[in-house]
Each structure stands twice: as C-alpha cells, then as structure tokens.
C-alpha cells in the first residue's frame, strides 16, 4: 500500500495502448460506427489487457435510471430495521440494484440532507424504515421518485406503506393459547402509547371473545419493553390473586422476565402456565429452558415486499395505501400441551 | 401516486423555460462563459422555479472521485457488524461520503459480483467487515482503490486492518476481578477454534500471573457462544469441587447462563462469585439482576477508525498493517466489592 494509489483505467489508456483515438476506442467498445475488424479487435484486446471497466456512472447518464435506491432508516440499523433492510436488500439485489444506506437517527435535518443528497445522485427511489409501527410524517422534501415506507407507515394514506400485522399477532397468540387448553389468559405488554400495543391487545381480545373468554388479571399490564418489566408484571399478576394458566407477552424480553419470576415462584412453564412472546428474537427465545413460543412479525418479508412495491413503482406501476404482512406463530416448549396430572 | 411518475427535471427543461440553449443554461448555472447578467438571472430563476438539482452523477465525471464507498459485510448486518457499520457510516457521513451497503452472506461469488459492480460505479474505496476476528483472505478481485478491513482482518499483513483488542479484553477482566478482591478465577468461553477465544484467554492469564495467580477449575471451559453453554459450564464448574470466587465469561450470553445456575445453586453474585462478561450487549447485561459487568470491545470505534484510514488512503495517505482498538471495562453490579461478612 506504500505505492502511489493506482488510478482507474480510462478509455484514454485503452486508446493509447491500441494506438487509436479515444473516440475510436469508444466506438469499438460500444460496437458502434464503421471500423475495420482489426481495429475493433485491437481495442478490445487493449481493454482486456488493462482490465478496463466501462464507467457505469457515465453510461447511466444516457438512460433515465441509475439502478440505485436510497434506504433511509431512523433506527440506527437497530433490532427492528435490520430484518427489514435485509429483506429489502435481498429483493433489490435480485434486481441488480445497489443500496445507499443512510442512518438519519430520527433527526429531520439529517433526513432532509440525505434525501437531497441522494436526489442529486439521481436515485431511482427510496425505502424509508424505522423502529416503530406508529405512523410518521411523510418525507419533508418534494421527492420526484417513488417512495415506499416499510414497518413505520406514512401518515398520508395516499403513500405506499408495508407494515407488520400486529393485530393478527395478538390473535394468533390468543388462538394458540386456547388451542393448547388454556382458558384464563393474562396480557403483559409495552407502553400503551405504542400503536403496536393497542393492535396486539385488540387481536388477543378478538381471539378470546370468539371462544367466550375475556382477559384475566388486574387488567392489561402496560409497562416497558424490558425483562425488568416482565419480572415486575409477573409479580403483580401473582400477588393479584388472579387465577391464570396462560400469559401473552408483547415482547420476548417481557416474556423472559415473566418466565424467570414464574419459575422462582414455583409455577411451572408450560405445565401450570403457558407463555407466548412476540418478536422471535433468537437469543432470547432459545436462551432459556423451556424455550419460548413466540409470534414472528416477519419483518424480513415486510422489507422484501416494500422493495417489490418500489421496483414496481420505478417500472411505472405505483401502488398506494397500506399493506399488512402476515405474522406467524413459532411454537416451542413454553406452550406444550399440559401433561395429564395423576 | 396514480399520476404518471414525474421525471427528474433536466437542464434542457431549465433552458426551455429560460428561452436559451442547453449550453447557455449550463454556462449560467456553472458560472462560466461570457453571458449577460440578465440571461444568467433568467436561467437561475428558471432552475429555482423548476426545483432543478444539478446532476451529481454528471458532475463527478469531471473529477476523480465519486464520494461513494462500498461497505461489504459477510455478517448479514448482524450483531457484530452493526456497530462497525454505524461507526464507519458516522465517520464517512461527516466527510459527506455516501455508503453502498452490500451483504455478501459469506458467499465468495456474491462478494466478487459486488466488488465488480461497485468498481464499475467508480467507488472511491471499500470497507470490508464480518462477524469474527479470525483473518480472512483478501478480496479476490484486483481492486484499484483503497480497501480497509474492519473487525475481520485481512490475512495479508500488507493490507490495512482495524480490529478489536481481544487480548486486552481478557486482561482487563482479570485485572478487575483481582482488584475487587477475587483470587480464585475460572474461565468459561466459546469454541477454542476462534482467535478471539485464544486471545482473551491469553490476556486473562497475563493478568492472573502478574498477581501470582493461575486459573482455577477443570481447565478453561471451551464451548459455545450461548446461554445454554453458560448454564452447562457453570454446572460442570460447581460439580468439579473447585473453589472459585470469580468467573470471566467470553460472552454476555455465556455469563447470563452461568449467572442463572449460580443463583439456582445458592451462590450469590457478586457476594460469593463475581462475574464478568464480554460484548456489553445491552439487552443481556441490563436484563438480569444483578446487572452484568462486562468488557465492551468498542466495535463502533473499530468502524470509525477503519473509515478514517480509508478516507486518508483515498486522500493519498494509505497505511498498512493491523491496528487494534482498545476495549474498556463497563462495571455494573455483578462485580461489586464483597460485603464484609459478620
């Protein structure tokens, strides 16, 4: 690395080696103009010898597309935007589109700066993602290319957004607890201010009322997205004296905390109490015995679908409105069927 | 979004609105040529009215640099490459450089494809990162721009690599356990095949021998990077009959598993046994009581330094060889000083 930095090979280098003008070299490489076959061959051989790469930057000037997309995240590439990003990158790479990654850190000025910089680079479109499912205001800049919001929807219903199905997540959890023989189900979850919390609760209540059941315990236990809250909430539930044989937790962290307190108080999971988490976060659901049944929100698929909608819009077939992407139950040990007691 | 897709405004649109030729419009916008002030003003007003953005793609053709960098990760943007990516993006964005994110998924063909695609886009350089600290073979393609390896070093010592300091991590853990009054220290860690495992063990042994101590227990407990292994290893350690008052764990996951078993067997942390983890993974170290003292490998700083070295190399000041980035101890409750017994 101590040598001077090699500069990229240009068409002028190729022309010089082939003993022709740059214009002739360009015609030969682009298979245009009237050249003798011998001249054309000499240029191609020179290009190969010099490992010349045609400049895609220059080439794309001729077309309308640059085959680049801006991926804006407010989440510092965090726990929730990662699978979305991966899903999007997957779908875009399959379409041979490169991704500019921009972490806006929830700073509107930074976001605006990135959007304008990317527009000056002529990106073909944007995917905007975040850490929450609460709607966000649309991009502040007037954007002349398609935009798709993933995970965090736009508050403008005319925009195109792809999100997780939190209500279905709650319904799946409730239906599964009932299917494994539980009838007294409590709910420990995150802050009531999150849209996801309300939607999961609604789905859970729908599943219960379909079977003639309602939630038990001292109401829904709203709190924090943490193990500490899971422990505290389980203690509250135990001390309330409520009879319960199933708990749906709004996150795997909450479920881990609840599992620890239930075990310490002699309530066996799954025999006495079945537990369902949310997120399918591998290190949490696999880390403890019994392993944790959970709802996977399919965030990778959210990202993939968002990218597919963006590609369609770039190809002139835009869609608008909200698409929800189904979640799925991942069954593990914490909801195995109750053993028959002696 | 049902309207036809708006196309980007071009210089020809500006020229048409101003009633001049495209060449004149270009001269006016670039402040070149001899134009009447009135003409120049008319073009600028037209550009503003149409929200014309000068095409950076075209502009960069004139210079050697495109102000773009390729960030290749083999880690599917996982736990370890995220902080490295963030640190790199931080340093690069400060230099107003945009990042192409490419997830190679440890597939050499995919990696080669990305490198060639990015070279055809004339990126100014590459940062290559991964999930492990074991060296990797250099990029297979002959790359005419600077490359810096971050976290996962290149096996070629002439390349520029920035890595975490695993040996210092082990030394810090050992010194801290000794400083908090422990003298019988055991070590539970990951697979012996990982360079990081050997380096952390070496650092720990250095710290112990400086105080005339050596490791206790049935040898170093090599296993998996999981809570399950932490539980199993703690059981092995307890059953071995070895006397121990401190354990250094090669990861926070292992430490979480060990903490669970120690508590269940009546060994109080930190009063009977002090515990130190590695990684400073927030959800793990803060999730349990007592919270976990750990070694932070400063991966964000690894990424930031790698980006700084890349920027220097792009500016004509390349460096070569391996730079290790210091780790730091993050003290929490699991190593608090032993209480004086009655």
ipTM score of the complex? 0.78
pLDDT at B143 over 50: yes
| Ramachandran assignment for B122, one of left (phi > 0), alpha (psi -120 to 50 degrees), beta (any other) | left
- Helix axis angle for B37-49 and B11-18, nearest 10°, is 120
B255 and B230 Cβ atoms separated by less than 8 Å: yes
Task: Kindly give the residue spans of alpha helices, DSSP state H, lying in A103-180.
Answer: 108-120, 166-179
pLDDT at B7 over 70: no
Interface test with A, best of B80, B98, B112 (most A CBs within 10 A): B98
CA-closest candidate to residue B262, choices B279, B246, B281, B282: B246
Q: pLDDT digit string (tens) for B200-218?
A: 999 999 999 999 999 999 9
- Would the CB atoms of A2 and B256 count as touching at under 8 Å? no
Nearest C-alpha in B relative to A69: B100
Q: In what order do the strands lie in the sheet with A221-222?
A: A221-222, A185-189, A246-249, A274-278, A293-296, A328-330
Cα B28 to Cα B19, B24, B173, B216, distances in angstroms:
13, 6, 64, 78
B64 vs A contacts (CB less than 8 Å) = 7-8
**Enclosing H/E stretch for A129:** strand A125-129
CA angle B28, B29, B30 (to 5 degrees): 95
Does B116 reach chain A within 8 Å, measured CB to CB? yes
Name the band, by pLDDT with cuts 50, 70 and 90, for residue A339: low
Output B84 or A294, whichever has higher pLDDT: A294
Q: In what order do the strands lie in the sheet with B274-278?
A: B221-222, B185-189, B246-249, B274-278, B293-296, B328-330
What is d(CA A53, CA A139) in angstroms, rounded to the nearest whole number?
36
- Mean pLDDT, rounded, for B157-177: 97
- Would the CB atoms of A146 and B1 count as touching at under 8 Å? yes
What was the pLDDT predicted at A61?
44
What was the pLDDT predicted at A76?
66
What was the pLDDT predicted at B280?
95
The 3-state DSSP class for residue B195 equals helix
Which of residues 222 through 281 in chain A touch B, CB cutoff 8 A?
Answer: 226-228, 253, 256-257, 260
What is d(CA A164, CA A75) in angstroms, rounded to the nearest whole number?
16
User: What global pTM score does this model have?
Assistant: 0.81
Phi, psi torsion values for A112, nearest 5 degrees: -60, -45
B313 vs A contacts (CB less than 8 Å) = 1, 5
Does B9 reach chain A within 8 Å, measured CB to CB? yes
CA-closest candidate to residue A250, choices A276, A289, A283, A215: A276
Domain pair A68-164+299-326 / A166-296, same fold = yes
- Would the CB atoms of B1 and A313 count as touching at under 8 Å? yes
- Would the CB atoms of B76 and A61 count as touching at under 8 Å? no
Which of residues 146 through 175 in chain A touch B, CB cutoff 8 A?
Answer: 146, 158-160
- Give me the residue spans of the domains in chain A: 11-60, 68-164+299-326, 166-296
CATH superfamily label, B68-164+299-326: Response regulator (3.40.50.2300)
The 3-state DSSP class for residue B56 equals helix
CA-closest candidate to residue A251, choices A286, A287, A276: A276
What is d(CA B281, CA A253) in angstroms, rounded to the nearest whole number?
14
- Residues with Cβ < 8 Å from B329, sequence gap 6 or more? B172, B173, B176, B293, B294, B295, B296
Name the token pair of B89.
Answer: 């993006």
**Enclosing H/E stretch for A128:** strand A125-129
* Closest Cβ–Cβ partner in A68, A103, A118 for B86: A103
What is d(CA A4, CA A7) in angstroms, rounded to the nearest whole number?
9
Rounded to a whole number of angstroms, the distance from the CA of A296 to the nearest CA of chain B is 18
- Residues with Cβ < 8 Å from B170, sequence gap 6 or more? B199, B200, B201, B202, B203, B204, B205, B206, B207, B248
Cα B270 to Cα A120, A167, B217, B244, B281, distances in angstroms:
57, 43, 18, 12, 20
Rounded to a whole number of angstroms, the distance from the CA of B50 to the nearest CA of chain A is 12
Rounded to a whole number of angstroms, the distance from the CA of B212 to the nearest CA of chain A is 36
Cis peptide leading into residue B207 (ω within 30°): no
Name the band, by pLDDT with cuts 50, 70 and 90, for residue A54: low
- Residues with Cβ < 8 Å from A7, sequence gap 6 or more? B64, B144
CA-closest candidate to residue A274, choices A205, A331, A199: A331
Q: How would you class A239 by CB atoms within 10 Å of its CB: exposed for 0-12, middle for 13-18, buried for 19 or more?
A: exposed
- Would the CB atoms of A120 and B6 count as touching at under 8 Å? no
What was the pLDDT predicted at B62?
44
- Residues with Cβ < 8 Å from B98, sequence gap 6 or more? A100, A102, A117, A118, A121, B67, B68, B69, B92
B162 vs A contacts (CB less than 8 Å) = none
Cα B29 to Cα A34, A62, A69, B41, B44, distances in angstroms:
37, 21, 27, 10, 7
B7 vs A contacts (CB less than 8 Å) = 64, 144
pLDDT at A96 over 60: yes
Q: pLDDT digit string (tens) for B104-122?
A: 888 899 899 899 999 988 9
Name the band, by pLDDT with cuts 50, 70 and 90, for residue B93: confident
Rounded to a whole number of angstroms, the distance from the CA of B207 to the nearest CA of chain A is 31
SS (H, E, C) A219-286: CCEECCCCHHHHHHHHHHHHHCCCCCCEEEECCHHHHHHHHHHHHHCCCCCCCCCEEEEECCCHHHHC
Name the token pair of B210.
Answer: 């400086």
Name the band, by pLDDT with cuts 50, 70 and 90, for residue B342: very low
CA angle B187, B188, B194 (to 5 degrees): 105
pLDDT at B23 over 90: no
- Residues with Cβ < 8 Å from B240, sequence gap 6 or more? B217, B218
- Mean pLDDT, rounded, for A302-306: 95
CATH superfamily label, A166-296: Response regulator (3.40.50.2300)
CA-closest candidate to residue A223, choices A253, A188, A252: A188
What was the pLDDT predicted at B63?
52
B253 vs A contacts (CB less than 8 Å) = 283, 287
Phi, psi torsion values for A148, nearest 5 degrees: -125, 135
A250 and A200 Cβ atoms separated by less than 8 Å: yes
Name the band, by pLDDT with cuts 50, 70 and 90, for residue B4: very low
Q: pLDDT digit string (tens) for B242-253?
A: 999 999 999 999
Name the token pair of B341.
Answer: 């017994």
pLDDT at B262 over 90: yes
Question: Right CATH number for B11-60 from 3.40.50.10800, 1.10.3720.10, 1.10.260.40, 1.10.150.530?
Answer: 1.10.260.40
Please report the number of interchain residue pairs, chain A to chain B, with beta-carbon separation below 8 angstroms.
Answer: 165
- Would the CB atoms of A287 and B57 count as touching at under 8 Å? no
């Amino acid at each position: 690395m101590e040598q001077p930095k090699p500069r990229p090979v240009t068409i002028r280098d190729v022309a010089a080696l082939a003993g022709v003008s740059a214009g002739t070299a360009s015609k030969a490489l682009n298979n245009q103009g009237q050249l003798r076959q011998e001249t054309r061959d000499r240029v191609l051989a020179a290009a190969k010898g010099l490992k010349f790469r045609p400049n895609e930057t220059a080439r794309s000037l001729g077309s309308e597309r640059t085959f680049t997309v801006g991926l804006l995240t407010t989440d510092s590439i965090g726990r929730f935007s990662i699978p979305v990003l991966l899903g999007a990158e997957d779908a875009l790479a399959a379409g041979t589109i490169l991704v500019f990654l921009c972490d806006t850190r929830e700073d509107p000025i930074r976001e605006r700066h990135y959007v304008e910089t990317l527009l000056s680079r002529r990106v073909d479109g944007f995917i905007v993602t975040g850490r929450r499912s609460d709607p966000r205001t649309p991009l502040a800049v007037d954007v002349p290319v398609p935009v798709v919001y993933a995970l965090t929807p736009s508050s403008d219903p005319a925009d195109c957004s792809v999100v997780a199905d939190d209500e279905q997540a709650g319904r799946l959890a409730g239906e599964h607890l009932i299917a494994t023989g539980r009838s007294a189900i409590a709910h420990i979850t995150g802050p009531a201010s999150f849209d996801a919390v309300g939607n999961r609760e609604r789905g859970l209540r729908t599943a219960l009322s379909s079977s003639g059941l309602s939630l038990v315990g001292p109401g829904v236990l709203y709190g924090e997205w943490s193990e500490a809250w899971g422990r505290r909430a389980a203690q509250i539930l135990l001390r309330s004296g409520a009879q319960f044989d199933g708990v749906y937790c709004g996150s795997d962290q909450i479920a881990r905390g609840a599992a620890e307190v239930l075990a310490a108080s002699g309530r066996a999971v799954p025999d006495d109490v079945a537990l369902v988490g949310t997120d399918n976060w591998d290190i949490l659901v696999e880390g403890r015995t019994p392993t944790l049944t959970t709802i996977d929100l399919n965030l990778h698929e959210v990202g993939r679908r968002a990218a597919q909608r963006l590609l369609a819009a770039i190809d002139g077939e835009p869609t608008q409105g909200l698409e929800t992407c189904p979640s799925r139950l991942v069954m593990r040990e914490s909801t195995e069927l109750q053993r028959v007691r002696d």
